[in-house]
Amino acid sequence: MAAVPTREVARRVFAREFNDAGYTFKESDDERAPVYLLLPTGERANRIFVVGTLTETEDVGEDSEYWQGRVVDPNGDTFFMYAGQYQPDAASMLRELEPPAYVAVVGKPRTYETDDGEVNVSVRPESITTVDEATRDRWVVETAERTIERLQRFDAADEGDDEPAVPSADGDAAVANEYVQMAREEYDLPVENYRRAVVEALESLETTDDADVAADA
């Protein structure tokens, strides 16, 4: 009896880190093996979960509908997503939604190389749902926590610790270190950028709270 494939965990990530990623890999030679995007903080992602403000939608298809959506996170950074005939539900949502709107998106990372050799990354949405501001705020806090955990593992590996300060999302310390080392080899990026993204995102929530208090006063 063949094993039933399990769905990959959808990683929470801010757009600043997601857009810096570009390296993809498989864990086996199996044709149907999942393709992972390597995040610069040292985590593999076959699926991601993002919540933000849908600011723009556009049908960029030529022969058939192919919808582009822009989702902005609290730092003002943008996730680009694309949905066509093979993502009918997501394409329908992008066709019908009126920006601006808070949306939650679960999807798969997709990379493509530009004419000048740059690797860009986007999201192929599996689902798009409208949410409220409270849901967006919870996503910000949870994504900040997950990012800090990845940074702690990254820092622990830098110090030569055999065991990461925080176990990997998959619970395997050795594998966590493997992805951190892979990220060090593939990316020449200061991970402090992502620590700043966490701080800025959390500060944006405080600013929003202050504004709400002032409005209610």
Question: With DSSP H G I counted as helix, E B as strand and the rest as coil, what are the percentages for the chain, rounded to 5?
Answer: 35, 30, 35
- What pLDDT is recorded for position 84? 95
The pLDDT tens digits of the residues spanning 35-52 come to 999 999 999 999 999 999
* Confidence band for 138, pLDDT divided at 50, 70 and 90: very high
CB 140 within 8 A of CB 204: yes
* Confidence band for 26, pLDDT divided at 50, 70 and 90: very high
Q: Is the pLDDT of residue 211 over 50?
A: no
Q: Is the pLDDT of residue 31 over 90?
A: no
The pLDDT tens digits of the residues spanning 102-130 come to 999 999 999 998 888 888 999 999 999 99
Find all residues with CB under 8 Å of 169, minimum gap 6, and list them.
9, 11, 43, 146, 149
| Complete domains list, the chain, with CATH | 10-205 (2.40.50.140)
- What pLDDT is recorded for position 8? 83
